[in-house]
């Protein structure tokens, strides 16, 4: 299926395996031009899905399959996180629960504390996203898109846009923190945008 063939069909509904409103809004903006309406897993009676994989791809597939079984709809799931080179890739798979408190503020505070003694030159990091589409719960061939967004961890937070680690993630090509970027700019540069682009090329 090509991107054009998606656009020619009437609006369809896919489910995104997330309860994060910031992530939901990002995906809704990204898929709107394709005639696809994205709804949240909050619209279905789905509890927390254990992320037992050891990679971003494994976790994305686990989430997508569990939600597809409940919803009966095509399901998108991404597993994404921030990988900091000075921390050997942490927080990585545990980005959302890095601090143990589950809040963006606490996660950012812990990240700054962990990097307190790290010089600017050694604060390289990247966001990584594995995005999976399952047509149905028993789909044996998930479509997978991967994306990586390089940057650095700043010494202080800036910006009011985005969510998660966006206030600390400095984007050298834009000379701004991710949370300072306009949504349309972030949707062009981000790890999720790149993963989506790769996924669509495989449809």
Note the pLDDT of residue 68.
94
Residue 136 neighbours by CB under 8 Å, 6+ apart: 68, 72, 74
pTM of the model: 0.84
Note the pLDDT of residue 160.
93
Note the pLDDT of residue 2.
43
Residue identified by tokens 């791809």 is 57
CA distance 203 to 194: 15
Q: In angstroms, how far apart are the furthest CA atoms of the chain?
A: 54
- Which positions are annotated as active-site residues? 79
Query: Which domain CATH number covers 107?
Result: 3.90.950.10
Residue 183 belongs to what domain range?
3-202
Q: Render each residue's pLDDT in the chain as its tens digit; 203 residues.
A: 444 444 444 478 999 988 788 888 878 887 888 889 999 988 887 777 888 899 999 999 999 999 999 999 999 999 999 999 999 999 999 999 999 997 999 999 999 999 999 999 999 999 999 999 999 999 999 999 999 999 999 999 999 998 999 999 999 999 999 999 998 899 899 998 899 899 988 87
Query: What is the domain count for the chain?
Result: 1
């Amino acid at each position: 299926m090509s991107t054009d063939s998606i656009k020619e069909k009437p609006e369809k509904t896919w489910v995104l395996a997330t309860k994060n409103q910031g992530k939901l809004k990002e995906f809704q903006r990204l898929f709107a031009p394709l005639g696809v309406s994205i709804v949240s897993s909050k619209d279905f009676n789905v509890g927390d899905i254990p992320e037992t994989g050891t990679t971003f791809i494994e976790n994305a597939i686990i989430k997508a399959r569990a939600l597809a079984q409940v919803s009966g709809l095509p399901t998108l799931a991404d597993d994404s996180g921030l990988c900091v080179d000075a921390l050997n890739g942490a927080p990585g798979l545990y980005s959302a629960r890095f601090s143990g408190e589950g809040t963006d503020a606490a996660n950012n505070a812990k990240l700054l504390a962990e990097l307190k003694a790290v010089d600017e030159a050694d604060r390289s990091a990247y966001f990584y996203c594995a995005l999976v589409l399952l047509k149905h719960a028993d789909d044996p061939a998930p479509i997978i898109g991967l994306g990586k967004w390089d940057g650095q961890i700043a010494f202080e937070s800036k910006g009011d846009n985005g969510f998660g680690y966006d206030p600390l993630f400095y984007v050298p090509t834009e000379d701004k923190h991710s949370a300072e970027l306009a949504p349309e700019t972030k949707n062009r540069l981000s790890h999720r945008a790149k993963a989506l682009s790769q996924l669509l090329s495989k449809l």
